[in-house]
């Protein structure tokens, strides 16, 4: 099984500042035949299901603000929020879908 | 309106069974693979199972293999999860989900989830 590890577990950032969440997989999630990383990012707010933000490591879903961006390849990935807004307070998860599916443990993002 | 609505959760004793349902509307259910994903209280997300569009293929997480069965009724636009031999560690909110935006042909191949229900809570306790 591919193990997904996020860092940090929690993060406090001031409004308007940058937030960075990291995700590392125990083996590559880059599929060589199509050069795509099978990696997604989700945002979950209390009492709500997760919301897909980014798939293929860097493709933003329609309607997701452009302050959210994803980067990385192979085994190391990053979700960046360029200018934190109050509504971004949530738990963020990475997910690999290279081999069945597995999620990171989550990163709780709060306002400093 | 595209919608997934789960039902069937509740409190059940260890060792007993429960069947969850997910009613789908707003898209051609029979063309999409479907998943169950669960989340224990205060914990992270765990993929549980997938079923292909026609029900002929399915896969399970090791934690539920042999105890849970995913199925579907395309004539009723409904997904099911039969849960047997329930354990305390199965306590969770159970979500149905699918890969919708990528198109039906991608839904069994690419397991990211852009469409979710609101979930149903299963509590396994004596």
- Interval A46-101: pLDDT, tens: 999 999 999 999 999 999 999 999 999 999 999 999 999 999 999 999 999 999 99
8 Å CB contact between A41 and A88: no
Residue B117 C-alpha, separation from nearest chain A C-alpha, in angstroms: 7
Is the CB of residue A101 less than 8 Å away from at least one CB of chain B?
yes
In angstroms, rounded to a whole number, what is the distance separating the alpha carbons of residues B22 and A69? 32
Strand partners, B81: B20, B70
Best A101, A103, A106 member to test B by mutation, with max B CBs in 10 Å, is A101
Q: Closest Cα to residue A98, out of A55, A48, A45, A47?
A: A55
- Among chain A residues, the shortest Cα distance to B5 is held by A49
The alpha-carbon gap from B15 to the nearest alpha carbon of chain A, in Å, equals 27
Check B45 against A103: CB less than 8 A apart: yes
What does pLDDT average to over chain A?
A: 97
Peptide bond into A8 cis (omega under 30): yes
For A24, the token pair is: 């590392």
User: What pLDDT does A23 receive?
Assistant: 98
Residues of A in contact with B110 (CB under 8 A): 38, 55, 97
Contact B45 A49 (CB under 8 A): no
Give the pLDDT of residue A100: 93
Of B47, B101, B116, the CB nearest to A100: B47
Average pLDDT of every residue of chain B? 96
Q: In this predicted structure, what is the pLDDT of residue B80?
A: 98
Tell me whether residues B117 and A95 touch, CB distance under 8 A: no
Question: So what's the pLDDT on residue B61?
Answer: 97
Write the CA distances from B106 to A28, B4, B96, integer angstroms: 21, 19, 17
Please tell me the predicted confidence (pLDDT) of residue A32: 92
Query: For B120, which residue in chain A has the nearest alpha carbon?
Result: A49
């Amino acid at each position: 099984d591919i193990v997904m590890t996020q860092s940090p577990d929690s993060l406090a950032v001031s409004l308007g500042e940058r937030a960075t969440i990291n995700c590392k997989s125990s083996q590559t999630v880059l599929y060589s035949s199509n050069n795509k990383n099978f990696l997604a990012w989700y945002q979950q707010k209390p009492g709500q299901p997760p919301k897909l933000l980014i798939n293929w490591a860097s493709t933003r879903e329609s309607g997701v603000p452009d302050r959210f961006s994803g980067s990385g390849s192979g085994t190391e990935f990053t979700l960046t929020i360029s200018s934190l807004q109050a509504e971004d307070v949530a738990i963020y998860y990475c997910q690999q879908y290279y081999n069945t599916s597995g999620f990171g443990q989550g990163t709780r993002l709060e306002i400093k | 309106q595209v919608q997934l609505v789960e039902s069937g959760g509740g409190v059940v004793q260890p060792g007993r069974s429960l069947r969850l349902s997910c009613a789908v509307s707003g898209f051609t259910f029979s063309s999409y693979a479907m998943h169950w994903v669960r989340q224990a209280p205060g914990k992270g997300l765990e993929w549980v199972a997938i079923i292909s569009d026609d029900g002929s293929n399915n896969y399970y997480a090791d934690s539920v293999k042999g105890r849970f069965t995913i199925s579907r009724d395309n004539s009723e636009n409904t997904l099911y999860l039969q849960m047997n031999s329930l354990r305390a560690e199965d306590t969770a909110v159970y979500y149905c989900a699918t890969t919708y935006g990528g198109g039906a042909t991608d839904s069994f191949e690419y397991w990211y989830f852009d469409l979710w229900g609101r979930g149903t809570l299963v509590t396994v306790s004596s």
